[in-house]
Structure 1
Amino acid sequence: MPPPSAWSPPRAKVQLKLAIQRLRLLAQKKTQLAKATRREIAQQLEKGRIESASIKCEGIMSEDLYVELLEVLELYCELLLARFGLLETVKEIDPGVNEAVAGIIHAAPRTELKELHVLREMLMSKGGRDYSIACVDNVDGIVPDRVTAKLVVSAPPQELIDLYLYEIAKAYSVDWRPQGFPDPNAPVDETESPSISLLIGSLFLPAAF
């Protein structure tokens, strides 16, 4: 009997289905927790505890990126399931599944899902040593940007924190806004500066307020 991490098409297909279920459940759980934290942040803003709200906000921003990563990995698993024939019949990693395989191998260790960790080991066994090392080290940019961008660990700029706080305050009808931000109750075209408009338009907040 092959070891659990060895490549086996039947077991890999089962593992993909398990990983999809767990990724979806974890993303939903994280999203619900983020909603609760947003309510806490709104309460802190209402009480004037801006510094505490800002610190919690950084945590929310990190969690938002994590949820985005989980959603991307879920899509990759679904893609591999849909194109499983390419994994099953082609000896090397086919270009049609390369992005998904590389993304999972690279990012799975940053998640808490053992189902995804097992799948990663199977894909590494399928791809071979050199391919696996390339995915782990992102040699020649083999890992897609949509994955690596969500794994960057850095302190967010204050402007982005302020924007998150501003949107949370608006969502919970809290009378607070950073200096220079428009009054949410005023007509946008009369008060919103081009720079703020551009910033708001370019930001994606995946978790619902």
Structure 2
Amino acid sequence: RLSVQRLRTLQQKKEAQAKVARRDIALLIERGKIETARIKVEAIIHEDIYVELLEIMELYCELLLARFGLLDQITRDPDPGIVEGVNAVIHAAQRTELKELHILRDILMHKYGREFSIAVMENRDGCVSKRVVSKLSNDTPAPALVDAYLKEIAKAYGVPFLLPGEAVEENAETPDEDGKVRATRNCKPRLINLLYGLTGNHGTKVFGH
């Protein structure tokens, strides 16, 4: 239960930090410092993926808590009803910064034994959920994904921004009385809403992670 609470708190902290980072990126775009903005966007993408990992781990911890009776069985093989959650915690907990999750991992490894734990850590036979494994990659974000973030961050903060080779989109932006370009009401930063979690979906399907 403590692991679940700490996971939620950490997610909220990371999401608040991400909002600040997005404002900073919008300022960089406005000042024409696009390459610096791209580097910062890559960091944000990694943080978004990390938050998605925390969400998944929270769900698995809730599953283990709800099915504690299965977890409490005297056996070296997890019940099918909890094996996915057990494997996820053993495989991915160390990639998080939560000591409570590390402790839970140690408990599970002790309960199910060295051989089982090593197999899970090595993801033998694909025993760990693909959702979890996909969030542990340290690959550099694809340029197209970085571009998508840049465009939607700029749109969300009303900053004019075009990628090289793009034409100005008709009626996408209009100047206000001060001559500053603002996003029109019809501009719907759908991707940004996903990034901020306003839709309840943190972009997993949109970004293909």
TM-score range, shorter chain: 0.7 to 0.9
Paired residues of 1:35 and 1:208 also in contact (CA < 8 A): no
Is the 1:64–1:207 Cα contact (8 Å) retained in structure 2? no
Aligned partner of 1:19 in structure 2 is 3
Identical columns (%): 53
Q: Which residue of structure 2 aligns with residue 133 of structure 1?
A: 118
Query: Could you say which residue in structure 1 is the equivalent of 2:145?
Result: 160
Partners of 1:64 and 1:205 within 8 A in 2: no
TM-score by length of 2: 0.80
Deviation for aligned residue 1:131: 1.0
1:21-40 Cα offsets, whole Å, 9 max, x none, are: 11110011000000000000
How far has the Cα of 1:185 moved from its partner?
4.3
Q: Secondary structure at the match of 1:96?
A: coil
RMSD, aligned CA: 2.3
Greater RCO (Cα-Cα under 8 Å, separation 6 or more): 1
Distance across 2 between alignment mates of 1:159 and 1:77: 34
Match of 1:176 in 2: 161
Q: Report Cα offsets for 1:178-208 as digits up to 9, x if no partner.
A: 2337738439xxxxxxxxxxxx999994434
Which structure 2 residue ranges, 5 or more long, are not aligned?
A: 174-188, 199-209
Match of 1:193 in 2: none
| Distance of 2:85 and 2:98 partners within structure 1 | 17
Match of 2:54 in 1: 70
**Closer, same or farther: CA 202–45 of 1 in aligned 2, 3 Å:** closer
Query: Does 2:207 correspond to 1:207?
Result: no
Q: Kindly indicate whether the alpha-carbon contact (under 8 Å) linking 1:99 and 1:143 is maintained by their aligned counterparts in 2.
A: yes
What is residue 179 of structure 2 aligned with on the other side? none
1:23–1:74 contact (8 Å) kept in structure 2: yes
Q: Please state how far the C-alpha of 1:89 moved relative to its aligned partner.
A: 2.5
What is the match of residue 93 of structure 1? 78
Distance 1:18 1:203 in 2: 31
Matched, 1:186 2:175: no
Aligned residues: 181
Q: Which runs of 5+ in 1 are unaligned?
A: 1-16, 188-199
In the aligned structure 1, how far is the partner of 2:170 from the partner of 2:100?
Answer: 44
Task: Report which of the two has the higher share of helix.
Answer: 1
Alignment partner of 1:169: what SS?
A: helix
SS in 2 for 1:178: coil
TM-score, normalization by structure 1:
0.80
What is the DSSP-based 3-state SS (H/G/I as helix, E as strand, rest coil) of the residue aligned with 1:153?
A: coil
Structure 1 residues 126 and 156: CA distance shift in structure 2, 3 A: same
Deviating runs (4+, > 6 A) in structure 1? 200-204
State the shift of 1:159 in Å: 1.0
Is 1:38 the counterpart of 2:27? The answer is: no
Superposed displacement of residue 96, structure 1: 0.7
